[in-house]
């Protein structure tokens, strides 16, 4: 059942992740230090996806190096019933000159199947890797990640500008409830423009 769910999730990601909009129109970070990027991240906002529909709060992503030079990905979140949903995947660097373009898959049969994976582009990181903006070249996927459960309004305004400059509709990104942190699913565009 778990393999079927992972196949379905990745298939959906693959179908929606490989159409429309030229990929060269989304600008990624010029250079990512993967050692600084690894570790735990809190989801601050995201464009809602069907494979995350069970997540109601405390969504996190943890990245670590594996023995075969891939990145282990553990995504987890709290569900309505109070239990924790956990999905394990793998990522690999596609653009080794910048380390900002990766592929991620959650499908494993005998080995990890990247042909069912999706693009994971790091658009921008904070100066001290305190936040990360992750997107997809078709702009149907975007996440704001942070080392802490919340970011300042000033940081979110800068992030909102980066996303807008890359052609993302920031009204599609919803704030992600974290404890402690945000507790409502406000639209990012409205949150940063509140008076």
Q: Cα 79 vs. chain centroid, distance in angstroms?
A: 18
Query: Of 124, 176, 171, which Cα lies nearest the Cα of 150?
Result: 176
CA dist., res. 124 & res. 36, Å (int): 13
Per-residue pLDDT at 97 exceeds 90:
yes
Question: Is 153 buried (19+), middle (13-18) or exposed (0-12) by CB count in 10 A?
Answer: exposed
pLDDT of residue 51: 75
Report the alpha-carbon distance of residue 87 to residue 173 in Å, rounded.
Answer: 22
Q: Could you tell me the two tokens for 167? A: 């052609």
Beta strand residue intervals within the chain, DSSP E:
39-46, 57-65, 71-78, 84-93, 101-105, 118-125, 131-135, 142-146, 174-175
Question: Facing residues of 89 across strands?
Answer: 73
Phi, psi of 163 (to 5 degrees): -65, -45
SS3 of residue 54 by DSSP = coil
User: What SS3 class is residue 46?
Assistant: strand
Q: Residue 103 has what pLDDT?
A: 93
Query: What CATH number does the domain containing 151 carry?
Result: 2.40.128.20
Stated pTM of the model: 0.85
pLDDT tens digits along 33-75: 999 999 999 999 999 887 788 899 999 999 999 988 899 999 9
Q: 46 is in which domain, residue-wise?
A: 2-192
Tell me the per-residue pLDDT of 112-130, one tens digit each, with 9 for 90 and over. Answer: 777 777 899 999 999 999 9
The model's confidence at residue 195, banded by pLDDT at 50, 70 and 90, is: low
| Residues above pLDDT 70, as percent of the chain | 87
Q: Kind of pairing, strands 142-146 and 118-125?
A: unpaired
Q: How many domains does the chain have?
A: 1
**What confidence tens digit (pLDDT) does each residue in 128-170 have?**
999 999 999 999 999 999 999 999 999 999 999 999 999 999 9
- What was the pLDDT predicted at 162? 97
pLDDT at 186 over 60: yes
Q: How confident is the model at residue 22 (pLDDT cuts 50, 70, 90)?
A: very low
pLDDT at 107: 80
Ramachandran quadrant class, 21 (left: phi over 0; alpha: psi -120 to 50; beta: rest) = left
**pLDDT reading at 7 higher than 60:** no
Token output for 72: 């282990």
- Is the pLDDT at 185 greater than 80? The verdict is yes
């Amino acid at each position: 059942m778990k393999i079927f769910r992972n196949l379905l999730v990745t298939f959906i990601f693959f179908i929606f992740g490989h159409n429309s909009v030229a990929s060269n129109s989304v600008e990624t970070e010029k250079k990512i230090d993967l050692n600084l990027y690894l570790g735990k991240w809190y989801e601050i906002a995201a464009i809602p996806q069907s494979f995350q529909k069970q997540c109601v709060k405390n969504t996190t992503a943890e990245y670590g190096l594996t023995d075969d030079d891939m990145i282990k990905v553990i995504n987890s979140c709290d569900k309505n019933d109070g239990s924790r949903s956990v999905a394990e995947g793998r990522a690999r660097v596609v653009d080794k000159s910048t380390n900002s373009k990766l592929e991620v898959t959650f499908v494993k049969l005998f080995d990890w199947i990247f042909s069912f994976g999706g693009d994971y582009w790091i658009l921008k990181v904070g100066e001290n890797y305190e936040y990360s903006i992750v997107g997809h070249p078709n702009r149907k996927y975007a996440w704001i990640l942070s080392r802490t459960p919340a970011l300042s309004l000033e940081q979110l305004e800068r992030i909102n500008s980066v996303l807008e400059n890359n052609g993302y509709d920031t009204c599609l990104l919803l704030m992600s409830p974290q404890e402690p942190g945000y507790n409502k699913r406000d639209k990012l565009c409205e949150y940063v423009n509140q008076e």
